Amino acid sequence: MITASGLRKTYGERTAVDGISFALEPGRVTGFLGPNGAGKSTTMRLAMGLDRPSAGQITINGRPYAEHRAPLREVGAVLDAGAWHPGWTGEQQLRILAATHAIPKARVQEVIEMTGLSSVATRRIKSYSLGMTQRLGIAAAMLGDPGVLIFDEPINGLDPEGVRWVRQLVRRLAAQGRTVFISSHLMSEMAQTADHLIVLGQGRIIADQPLGDFIDPAGETRVLVRTEDAQALMTALAGAQITLVCQDAETFEARGIDARSIGRRALEIGVVIHELTPLHSSLEESYLRLTGNYVEHRSGGLL
Ligand SMILES: Nc1ncnc2c1ncn2[C@@H]1O[C@H](COP(=O)(O)OP(=O)(O)OP(=O)(O)O)[C@@H](O)[C@H]1O
């Protein structure tokens, strides 16, 4: 479990994290979203004890990182894919990390196999591709078999196979009952990976809710209707809380009423229906709608 309360971090005049509070539950993947500079990496670094909060606190299983006797057994993180000694092999790097945290050598082989690094484990890290380096970071995070995992942009630069591998791994870790906290700018990927979302905008929480509620807020049902007589059906459906947007003589979009009720009404007035399709927003649409006001630099129309 990761808990933040009144967490705040300032760098000089700049407020990176502005008094945020949240509780991340075990057994689910929490996606951490927000425009560039929103404060995601800072929050994750504070969780890992790599920086000190200016106010408030963030705890892992009830204690700040620095107060855990064996932190690697509590929490693993991939925050910076490049932070390795390039002259060492992946296996050497993992063995040193294990030795300094009293983790048995056998666990090194386990995480090497788990992350698909067996064929390159004895090669120097400087010869690793970005994907291999990301896998090495995940192997290191898994060394202490921790119940909490924090991944900052783990799929950056990965090929499609690597992206799928990270997605499946992250889902499996949550299914095992671990707390997984993952940031990414890739909305399509987050939509397939996260159960819950926390969205930051300029250091503050602007959403903290299940993925499904974020994408389709209650009461915003939309249905695409194709019928022989759009006008007649629209007249029959008109009412408070219902919005009908005509597209052509046979097609309209209805909001505030579900497909079942539309079908029933069409039967009552004897209008033939050709199509009734509930429409869902994409995570990207919902995200852009929410964060539009929080973007530091908006792109112009020119390339
Ligand atoms: N060490 C630092 N010194 C000064 N300012 C910092 C430092 N670290 C972060 N910041 C500032 O704090 C703000 C939040 O940065 P942070 O890296 O946490 O955002 P982010 O959401 O992770 O962004 P991105 O998606 O671009 O990685 C930014 O304005 C950044 O410039």
Tell me the pLDDT tens digit for each residue of 35-71: 999 999 999 999 999 999 999 999 999 999 999 988 9
Is residue 219 scored above 60 in pLDDT?
A: no
- Residue 218 has what pLDDT? 65
Average confidence score pLDDT of the chain: 92
Query: Which has the closest alpha carbon to 286: 232, 213, 226?
Result: 213
Is residue 15 scored above 90 in pLDDT?
A: yes
3-state secondary structure of 283: helix
- Residue 82 has what pLDDT? 61
Q: Which atom of ligand 1 is nearest to the CA of 43?
A: 18
> How far is ligand 1, taken at its centre, from the CA of residue 37, in Å?
5
HEC assignment per residue over 129-167: CHHHHHHHHHHHHHCCCCCEEEEECCCCCCCHHHHHHHH
Calpha distance 297→303 (Å, rounded): 15
- Per-residue confidence band for 280, with pLDDT thresholds at 50, 70 and 90: confident
> How far is ligand 1, taken at its centre, from the CA of residue 52, in Å?
14
Mutation to probe ligand 1, out of 13, 36, 184 (largest number of atoms < 8 A from CB): 36
Is residue 227 scored above 90 in pLDDT?
A: yes
Q: Span 220-249, mean pLDDT? A: 92
The tokens describing 98, both together, are: 């294990």
**Of the candidate ranges 125-134, 190-199, 280-289, the one whose mean pLDDT is the lowest:** 280-289
Query: Which pTM does this prediction carry?
Result: 0.85
- CB-count burial class (<10 Å; 0-12, 13-18, 19+) for 17: buried
Q: Which residues line ligand 1 (CB under 6 A)?
A: 11, 14, 16, 34, 36-42
Q: Which atom of ligand 1 is nearest to the CA of 185?
A: 25
Q: Span 173-193, mean pLDDT? A: 94
The tokens describing 209, both together, are: 């809710």
The number of C-alpha atoms within 13 Å of 288 and in the hemisphere containing its C-beta is: 9
Calpha distance 154→170 (Å, rounded): 10
Is residue 131 scored above 90 in pLDDT?
A: no
- Residue 98 has what pLDDT? 94
3-state secondary structure of 9: strand
Is residue 85 scored above 90 in pLDDT?
A: no
List the residue whose alpha carbon is closest to atom 3 of ligand 1. 11
The tokens describing 146, both together, are: 């921790």
